[in-house]
A and B are shown apart, each in its own frame.
Chain A
Amino acid sequence: ETGVTQTPRHLVMGMTNKKSLKCEQHLGHNAMYWYKQSAKKPLELMFVYSLEERVENNSVPSRFSPECPNSSHLFLHLHTLQPEDSALYLCASSPGQATYEQYFGPGTRLTVT
């Protein structure tokens, strides 16, 4: 398996649920990212990890909690979400944080009911 994979591809959850999104990259990259893509809005950077250390947290609410156990895996733990959190959540990776090309996974389509 190559590239960036994300599971699940679709997720429906209630506001009181706890769920996790998973991202895995098979490219040997050192930086990984979480983005949120809402309808009619630009891609929003949420978190950046470089060499497994979090280097960016763009004022994301605490109901989103990232975890990067190693350079190949990235998780986004979700709890007590709101309906406005419904969106496409994209994971990306790059060889290093300052390298110019990011490779995106297919995304998880999240619906909060």
Chain B
Amino acid sequence: GQNIDQPTEMTATEGAIVQINCTYQTSGFNGLFWYQQHAGEAPTFLSYNVLDGLEEKGRFSSFLSRSKGYSYLLLKELQMKDSASYLCAVRDLGNGQNFVFGPGTRLSVLP
């Protein structure tokens, strides 16, 4: 089966750095994805990791450790517009290559 865990809520200050963790258990790992979802809007793709290590894309970075079933999303130089939910999703070969989503982490950025 699949199980994906994330913290429910986090709070951080504008200009700071925040790390959102995700742990997962799957029967056939084939990639981990992070999506951003603002309230009332569609999820938008942020990053993709399939090999161990860090992927950097501007202010956002994502890290993966397959042996530990662990990923994190790192947001630097936080801005008010980064207040959103961040969804961790895993593609699972045991689930027909489909995505399994975590519950999401609601991040609030305070001035």
Contact = CB atoms under 8 A, between A and B. Distances in A.
A107 B37 CA distance: 12
B99 A102 contact: yes
B102 A103 contact: no
B75 to A, nearest CB: 20
Interface string B86-111: 01010100001111111110000000
Interface stretch (B10-18, B40-48, B57-65, B76-84): B40-48
Interface residues of B, number: 23
Interface SS, A side: loop
Interface string B11-32: 0000000000000000000010
Q: Interface size for chain A: under 10, 10 to 19, 20 to 34, or 35 or more residues?
A: 20 to 34
B72 interface: no
A6 to B, nearest CB: 9
27 contacts: A41-B103, A42-B4, A42-B101, A42-B103, A42-B104, A43-B43, A43-B87, A43-B89, A43-B101, A44-B101, A45-B100, A48-B96, A55-B96, A56-B96, A56-B98, A98-B97, A100-B31, A100-B33, A101-B33, A101-B45, A101-B48, A102-B45, A103-B45, A104-B42, A104-B43, A104-B44, A106-B42
Interface of B: 4, 31, 33, 35, 41-45, 48, 50, 87, 89, 91, 96-104
